[in-house]
Structure 1
Amino acid sequence: MKFASLGSGSEGNALLISATSGMTCTTVMLDCGFSVKETERRLARAGLAASDIGGIVITHEHSDHVSGAFKFARRHRVPVWLSHGTFQAVQADCKDVDIRFCRDGDALAIGDLELTPYTVPHDAREPVQYVAQDGQSRLGVLTDAGHLTSHLVNALAGCHALVLECNHDSQLLATSVYPPSLKRRIGGAYGHLSNDSSTLILQAIDKTRLRRVVGAHLSQQNNTPELAAAAIALGLAGADAEISVAGQSDGFGWIEME
C-alpha cells in the first residue's frame, strides 16, 4: 500500500491511497477539493490518469474537500462514497453520479482496499475520517476535527502511518488578522486541530506500529511546517517514526507503506 497527496490545506485537499494485489491495483481518492482540470493535472504529476481512480471517498461537505468531487466523478464515471449527512448537504451536485453511502464503523471494500469511516467533531453535517488497510498495512487519516475524542483515538490505534491535521499554532491564530468569529470557529471544539491538540492525539494513540506521520491541512497564515513538525515530534515522544509535512501546492509524493 502507498499514499500521496495532491495538495493539503484550506485551498483544496485530495489524498490518494493505492494498493496492489497480484495483477490488480486499486487507487481511491480521499476528497477532491480542486477543479477537474487541476485534479487531472495533479494526478498526472503523481503518475496517474483519471481512469486510474477507482472511487472517491468523501469526508465532509466543505468546499476545500468536495468542490471538484462530483464533476470529476460524473465526467469519469467514478463512484463516490459519503455519509448520509454529507449527502444531504451536497445532493444538488450529485445528479448522474454513482452515490454510495457509508457510516461510522462500517468498512467499505473497494477493490484491494478496505476503508473504515469514523466520526469526528467538526462543524459539518455528518463528518467522518477514514482508516485504510490492505490486509498488511494500516493508514490512518485525521483532518478537520476540533478536538481529541476517545472514539478517534481508538480508531487510529495500531496504524503504520498517519496523516494528521496540524492546522494552526494557537498563539499565531490568536494574534492573526482573522476576525474574531473566524478565530473562534477555527480554534473551537468543532473547528480544526491545533499543533497542541495533534501532540495530545499522538501521545494518546497506540503507536506500537507507527512508522510515519505526515502533518496535514496546515494554515498558511497561522502555522509553519517547522512548528507542525515540532508538535509531531513532541507527540511521538521518541517513537521511531519519520516526520514530514504536506504542502498546499504540492502535497507530497508517494510514500510506500512498510
Structure 2
Amino acid sequence: MSLFIASLNSGSNGNCYYVGNEQEAVLIDAGISCRETERRMLRLGLSLNKVKAVFISHEHSDHIRGLPVLSRKYNLPVYITDGTLHHGGLKDQVRTVLSFTADESVLIGDLEVMPFSKQHDAADPHSFTISCNDTRIGVFTDIGISCPNLVKHFQQCHAAFLEANYDETMLAESRYPYFLKKRISGGRGHLSNKQALELFTTHRPAYMSHLLLAHLSQENNKPELVQDLFNSCAGQTTITVASRHQESAVYRITGTQ
C-alpha cells in the first residue's frame, strides 16, 4: 500500500509533516497555525478529515505552536509524552491527550507509528517512523547526532524527512554568540549538512525513493547549497529541500525492495 507524504512547513518558524494512506493520516508536530495548516492542506488537495491524530516530537514552540487550536477544532487526539506535555505548557490546552512510549508502536487505523528517543535539548524528545504494510516513512529532525537509534530506523525507510540544519562553515562564521553555536553543534542541537550527508551515503537503503531535507537554518544554510550537496550523491533517490515558507508537493511512496 502506498503512503502519501508532504511537508507543510519546515524550519525554526514552524514544523508540520503529513503522512497518510487513502483512508487515514497523521501529522507529526503542529508548529504552524491551524489556519495556515488548513490553507496548505487545501492547496495540496489533502483533507484534514483524514487526519486521525497528531504526534508531538518535543516541546519547542516551532513544533507545538498551532497544536491547541488545531486539536480542539478538529477534535484530534494528541500523542505526547508527559515530559513534553508539562514542559510545553500544554496540559490545559489540549482536550484529548494520549501518551506514547519509546519503541512501542501506536496503531492509527492501518498506520503504525513507532516513536524512538533522540538526542536533542528538550525534556523527552522523540523521532518517528510511520508504516503501512511494506512502506515506511521516517521523520527525523531536531537531532544532535546520528546515533545508533537513528541509523537503525533510517536504514528501514522508503522515504524520510531528514534534518540538514546548518553548514558548518556558515555557522562558525556567523554572528551567533558562542553559546548558541555550541548549542546548535554540540551533540544535543541540530544535524549539520555534513552529518546528514554522511548518514545518507553510509546508511541509505537501496530502496529509498525520496529524501526531504528538513529544518534548514535561515541564517546558517542555503537551500541551493544543500540541494547540490545531496544531488551529487543521490543515485536513484529524489532529493527535495523542504521549505520554511511554503508546503512541498505531495509524494506517493510505495514500499518496494
TM-score, normalised to structure 2's length?
Answer: 0.92
**Distance apart, 1:96 and its partner CA:** 5.0
Letter in 2 for 1:199: L
Aligned match for 2:223, one of 206, 225, 230: 225
CA–CA distance in structure 1, aligned partners of residues 26 and 95 of structure 2:
16
| Matched residue, 1:165 | 163
Aligned match for 1:245, one of 241, 249, 252: 241
Per-residue CA shift, 1:108-127, capped at 9, x if unaligned? Answer: 10112111011110000110
| Matched residue, 1:155 | 153
CA–CA distance in structure 1, aligned partners of residues 163 and 48 of structure 2:
27
Per-residue CA shift, 1:9-54, capped at 9, x if unaligned? Answer: 110011011112xxxx101111010122222222222223433321
Call closer, same or farther: CA 1:92–1:27 in 2, change over 3 Å.
closer
Give unpaired runs (5+ residues) of structure 2: none
| Matched residue, 2:60 | 62
**Distance apart, 1:252 and its partner CA:** 0.6
Call closer, same or farther: CA 1:97–1:204 in 2, change over 3 Å.
farther
CA contact (8 A) 2:28 2:57 kept: yes
Structure 2 residue 10 is the aligned partner of structure 1 residue 8 = yes
Structure 2 residue 180 is the aligned partner of structure 1 residue 182 = yes
Identity %: 34
What's the Cα RMSD here?
Answer: 1.6
- The DSSP-based 3-state class of the residue aligned with 1:126 is coil
CA–CA distance in structure 1, aligned partners of residues 92 and 207 of structure 2:
39
**Distance apart, 1:93 and its partner CA:** 4.4
TM-score, normalised to structure 1's length?
Answer: 0.92
How many pairs are equivalent? 252
Letter in 1 for 2:240: S
CA–CA distance in structure 1, aligned partners of residues 46 and 204 of structure 2:
33
- The DSSP-based 3-state class of the residue aligned with 1:115 is strand
Call closer, same or farther: CA 1:96–1:150 in 2, change over 3 Å.
closer
Aligned match for 1:101, one of 99, 102, 106: 99
- The DSSP-based 3-state class of the residue aligned with 2:18 is strand
